[in-house]
Amino acid sequence: MQYFPIELRLQPSRRLFWLVTAAHLIVALPLLFLPGWSWFMRLMLLSAIVLSYRRSQAALRRPVYTALLLHSDGRLQLCTENQQWVSAALCHVIDQHWALWLDLKLEHTHTALMLCPDAFIQPAHWRVLRVWCQHKQHPLSP
């Protein structure tokens, strides 16, 4: 029986949307109550936070990668939004049980992906990726 390669289709994550929203609110709310700051300075800081929030939400709505392709030998490929497959080397994985942080080395750059369970079109693929990452980090000895 052949299981690999496995293609995991991705979609925008609602969990990451709310996580980013909460982080921006946590930063923005105390600025309203800082003593000794002029209204102009508060307005400038809040404008920067709002701009950061809008850019991050736009990036979350339109992810750069639409699918992952897992190979049995530990190779990983990412499908870009224009349907091109890019090879990536998995450098490091942080598994928080509610999110996976993948540190990836692409051909000419270094990038990271944060994936939550709701980022997968098929919910079972969340577990598949977590198990694959564990085996990639701690391979079985022959």
A 10 A CB-CB count for 40 gives: 8
pLDDT value at residue 89 = 84
pLDDT value at residue 22 = 94
Global pTM reads 0.75
pLDDT value at residue 47 = 92
A 10 A CB-CB count for 16 gives: 20
pLDDT value at residue 1 = 41
**Radius of gyration in angstroms for the set of CA atoms belonging to the chain, rounded to a whole number:** 19
A 10 A CB-CB count for 85 gives: 11
pLDDT value at residue 140 = 52
pLDDT tens, N- to C-terminus, the chain (142 residues): 457 888 999 999 999 999 999 999 999 888 877 788 888 888 898 899 999 999 998 888 887 788 999 988 878 888 887 888 888 888 888 888 899 998 888 888 888 888 999 999 999 999 999 998 888 765 554 4
Determine the straight-line distance between the first and last CA of the chain, rounded to whole angstroms: 20
pLDDT value at residue 138 = 58
